[in-house]
Structure 1
Amino acid sequence: MAGVGKAIGLGAAAAAAAGAAAAGVAADRAAAERRRLNELDPADGFAHVADEELKVIATDGLNLHVEIDTPRDLDPDLPTIVMSHGFCLSLRSWVLQRRAFVQAGYRVVLWDQRSHGESEVSDLSSCTIEQLAHDLRAVIDATCPEGPIALVGHSMGGMTTMAFARHSPELVRDRVMAVAFISTAAGGEGLTDLGMGPLVGRAIGQVGPRLLSRLAPHQRWLAPVRRFGRNVESSIVDRFSYDSPVSEGLVRFTADLILATRFEVMAAFIPAIQGHDELDTLTTLVDKEVLVVNGEGDLLTPPAHSEKIVERLPGSEHVVVRDAGHLIMLEHPEIITGQVLSLLHRAEVDAATAVAVADKPRVRRTIIDIAKGRRVRKARESREGREGRESREGRETGRTRTRASS
């Protein structure tokens, strides 16, 4: 029996090794395909130098990193756009929108939520959506204490916006012209399902924080391990962030953003996200222009979560983007930029004509990013053409060397 058990153990180990090898081969192939699409990356890359950087002191004394971009000919009547990023990201995730908004004439304020990006790491007990709401108020008070504002939040940043509206209803009433909720939810139930059902969600909610807390002391050793398994890591990030072809450069940028977040911070925020419930708060925004955007293939906050927001806001607009995942602002940047700019235009028209948003009908639309599909085909054809030429040149060089040696 011992021999049989040993044989079974060896067989299981061999099967696991074979499975890991197959996964590695698949990941390598996927990485090669993504490298074919590096032409999709923005010409200016993913780095950005802000016009102004400052530290804002939160209510508990924590330093929050804030960046501001201001157009040369600023129209003071236009709202300042305040942008809040999502869980395990940073203000860098808005790089493509901030450039476009400034070019369109808007002043933009971005901030790293506590324990993310370049903001200070807080006590884990303060890693709550409630505290993030107070942080957002501090950022607004420090950077745009007067004048109209528009709030744009992605994922956890949208949750922050909702909690902020509950804590600062008078500011919302008097100064907020428009709100955009990107890939977010008003309730935390089901947000850790990862598209695999509530059983997985409950397991992640119960085990995830404990596991991350145990791994936290060893996070500094992660960098060399990441290098060895880079293609597998990229495939995982791609799977849960995007739902259309993207470049290897974008996936690496995304992975670096996510894994810059400390494990203990991830562990602390997971219960806060799961306990999030701001459905009733949405009534505070009933007279504001509200845009709700989701990717149809978003595994973290699928469109059903957005629909619950839209149901509470009669005059809101719900846009679902085909072939889009959770990080839709990086996957389909022109669509998100265009939708937010349209939102601001509607808000400006409402203010000029005294139209009541609550009297307007809800609008629900599904959008396909045709332009990106064309760019993907062009990039693939361009890369295949280069690879074909290189292959032919290589064969010709080999024949020339053979003739010369003979």
Structure 2
Amino acid sequence: MPDVYAPHRVHQDEFLHLRGLRHHILRWGQTVPGQPPLIMVHGWMDVGASFQFVVDALKQDREVVALDWRGFGLSEMSGSDSYWFPDYLGDLDALLDRLSPDAPVDLLGHSMGGNVVMSYAGVRPQRIRRLVNLEGFGMPDVSPAAAPERLTRWLDELKDPPTLRPYATLADVAERLRKNNPRLAADKAAWLAQHWARETPEGFLLNADPAHKLANPVLYRKAEVLACWQRIAAPTLWIEGSDDQLTRFWGTRYPRDDFEARLALVPGLERTVLQDAGHMLHHDQPEALAARLELFLD
């Protein structure tokens, strides 16, 4: 293993029971009277510890809390064979009730988490002071005609559920992280690997419920999502990397023009592109991201 990244700000692990499940949160800094906490939520197949490098780069020692979504990191699995998007909204709502029941928070989400916070900010606009979306593009609209095929695929996958392959060592996990993102420094990958995976008799397994890989039988409806986005009241910051991840993910199925039209519906929107960064921009350019966040949040 290479040298392991040494955090500048060490987090505290806490566990909260939210909606019947034990959720893991990471907490940095102390509560400051009059200053809202910054709540960070990660993307699909990621963990809350993923934000460590950005927290280290913040100049202001403010209170920051990162959540492991249900079925990820050290949070409990749902106990079901499937995961539903509205549950993320419910878990986030319960988390804010615990952390800041009487005052709005600053809320940041990456990728899947970015999609969650955008919908949540439209449903609970009074709970958010500032909103940040890191590459939460959403997905292509899906025609109702796709429902039979999608439901069939889901039913078939339930009979042969997905699994996650084990890794022989944490170094192998770190190598996988760097294969996914060549910009990730070796010491940071080694540190993340400890949070991304756990040791089992079979080897090191990712801290993720394999059920997340099932086909989603609920179709993505753009009109429903945008009905939420249009109700966002908080000043909103959209940040993406200079690499074109939208085309990489979806090709022609989700044209850039479609996404731009969606963003145009969000009131009070600011935009930033981080150079030399891909989808994991909080790993690629943590210092630049932290500087832009502090400018916006302050």
Query: Shorter-normalised TM-score: what interval?
Result: 0.7 to 0.9
Residue 120 of structure 1 pairs with residue 76 of structure 2: yes
Q: 1:158 to 1:86 in 2, by over 3 A?
A: same
Q: Where do 4+ consecutive residues of structure 1 move more than 6 Å?
A: 203-213, 225-230
Give the unaligned 5+ runs of structure 1. 1-34, 192-202, 346-406
Which of 102, 105, 110 matches 1:146? 102
Aligned to 2:227: 280
**Per-residue CA shift, 1:94-149, capped at 9, x if unaligned?**
11223444x51422222111101111000346611111001000000011112231
Aligned to 1:161: 117
Compare CA radii of gyration and give the structure with the larger one.
1
Matches of 2:167 and 2:77, distance apart in 1: 20
Which of 34, 37, 52 matches 1:80? 37
TM-score by length of 1: 0.57
Per the alignment, in what secondary structure is the counterpart of residue 147 of structure 1? coil
Q: 1:262 to 1:160 in 2, by over 3 A?
A: same
Residue 331 of structure 1 pairs with residue 263 of structure 2: no
The question of whether the paired residues in 2 share the 8 Å contact of 1:53 and 1:67 is answered with yes
C-alpha RMSD of the superposition: 3.9
- Paired AA for residue 53 in structure 1: E
Aligned to 2:294: 341
Q: State the Cα distance separating 1:281 from its structure 2 match.
A: 0.9
Aligned length: 275
- Paired AA for residue 110 in structure 2: H
The question of whether the paired residues in 2 share the 8 Å contact of 1:153 and 1:181 is answered with yes
Per the alignment, in what secondary structure is the counterpart of residue 266 of structure 2? coil
Give the unaligned 5+ runs of structure 2. 143-148, 198-205
Q: How does 1:3-402 map to 2 (within 5 A)?
A: 44-45=6-7, 49-51=10-12, 53-58=14-19, 61-71=20-30, 74-101=31-58, 104-124=60-80, 127-168=83-124, 172-173=125-126, 175-185=127-137, 187-189=138-140, 214=160, 216=162, 219=164, 222-224=166-168, 233=176, 236-238=179-181, 245-251=183-189, 257=196, 259-267=206-214, 274=220, 278-285=225-232, 287-297=233-243, 298=245, 299-300=248-249, 304=256, 307-345=260-298
Matches of 2:238 and 2:207, distance apart in 1: 28
Structure with more helix by fraction: 1
Q: 1:178 to 1:234 in 2, by over 3 A?
A: closer
Matches of 2:98 and 2:33, distance apart in 1: 17
Q: State the Cα distance separating 1:163 from its structure 2 match.
A: 2.8
Q: State the Cα distance separating 1:188 from its structure 2 match.
A: 1.7
- Paired AA for residue 265 in structure 2: R
Per the alignment, in what secondary structure is the counterpart of residue 313 of structure 1? coil
Aligned to 2:146: none
Aligned to 1:390: none
Per the alignment, in what secondary structure is the counterpart of residue 79 of structure 1? coil
Matches of 2:174 and 2:39, distance apart in 1: 34
Matches of 1:204 and 1:95, distance apart in 2: 37
The question of whether the paired residues in 2 share the 8 Å contact of 1:116 and 1:261 is answered with yes
The question of whether the paired residues in 2 share the 8 Å contact of 1:66 and 1:139 is answered with no
Structure with more strand by fraction: 2
TM-score by length of 2: 0.75
Identity %: 21
The question of whether the paired residues in 1 share the 8 Å contact of 2:174 and 2:193 is answered with no
The question of whether the paired residues in 2 share the 8 Å contact of 1:213 and 1:267 is answered with no
